[in-house]
Amino acid sequence: MLELESLRKSKVYLEGREEGRLEQKIETIPILLKAGLTVEQIAESLKLDVKTVQKNVKQPS
């Protein structure tokens, strides 16, 4: 179990996990737009900056 705990504390693991969370938030943007939320409301809801939301509204993945 110690090896698993060491892995969870590793920089690579933490960066990958954070990257996955960001990707998930970005995938949520079009759904929230269709629901009628503004860019500002989406940014606040997802705890992203407005520029990040705007960038992903213009360039959907």
pLDDT recorded at residue 40:
97
With respect to residue 59, please indicate whether it lies within any of the assigned structural domains: yes
With respect to residue 5, please indicate whether it lies within any of the assigned structural domains: no
Q: Say whether 3 sits in a helix, a strand or coil.
A: helix
pLDDT recorded at residue 49:
96
Q: Into how many domains does the chain fold?
A: 1
With respect to residue 2, please indicate whether it lies within any of the assigned structural domains: no
With respect to residue 26, please indicate whether it lies within any of the assigned structural domains: yes
pLDDT recorded at residue 59:
62
pLDDT recorded at residue 42:
98
The series of mean pLDDT values per 10 residues for the chain, 61 residues long, is 74 86 95 97 97 84 46
With respect to residue 41, please indicate whether it lies within any of the assigned structural domains: yes
With respect to residue 47, please indicate whether it lies within any of the assigned structural domains: yes
Which amino acid is residue 3, in one-letter code?
A: E
Q: Is the pTM of this model over 0.85?
A: no
With respect to residue 6, please indicate whether it lies within any of the assigned structural domains: no
Contact 53, 46 (CB under 8 A): yes
Range of the domain at 55: 21-61
Nearest to 54 by CA among 29, 19, 31, 22: 29
Q: How many CA atoms lie within 13 A of 15 on its CB side?
A: 3
With respect to residue 34, please indicate whether it lies within any of the assigned structural domains: yes
